[in-house]
Amino acid sequence: MRTLPVLVYDGDCGFCTSAVGLAERYVRPRCEVTPWQRAPLASFGVAQQRAEYEALWVTPTNAVHGGAQAVAKLLLSAGSGWAVLGAVLTLPPMRWIAHGVYRLISNNRQRLPGGTPACALPANRQ
């Protein structure tokens, strides 16, 4: 059984890969990190369609948090000041704002630094 949570992200997306690299370098979350393309999604109880749509935080008991809440969990796992920011992102109204900002970024990631046409969400998921 896994003892660490897993951050699942889109490994084909340059923006996502860059963002995860920055998080690993500066935030230092306590988790495993894997692109959805290599993750055992079925064992996590996650459909590929969801993994294509948003970053996921999968706990050792396979509880799944997606999007902005995955980011909040990542920050919480890092401790110190990052954990305070993560906690704030879990509370209304910041939770709602974080969700909107996450969707805005996710829906436009191909236009952001490091993004490529491969970063675009599938048309039926935007």
The predicted-structure confidence for 73-103, as pLDDT tens digits, reads as follows 999 999 999 999 999 999 999 999 999 999 9
Two structure tokens written together for 126: 């935007």
Task: Name the maximum alpha-carbon separation found in the chain.
Answer: 39
Q: Residues near 84 by Cβ (< 8 Å), separated by ≥ 6?
A: none
Residue 59's pLDDT band, with cuts at 50, 70 and 90, is: very high
pLDDT tens digit sequence for 109-120: 888 877 777 777
Model pLDDT, residue 49: 95
Residue 113: cis peptide before it, omega within 30 degrees of 0: no
More confident residue, 29 or 111: 29
Please work out, in degrees rounded to the nearest 5, the angle formed at the alpha carbon of residue 32 by the alpha carbons of 121 and 73: 70
Model pLDDT, residue 1: 80
Among residues 100, 40, 46, the alpha carbon closest in space to that of 68 is found at 100
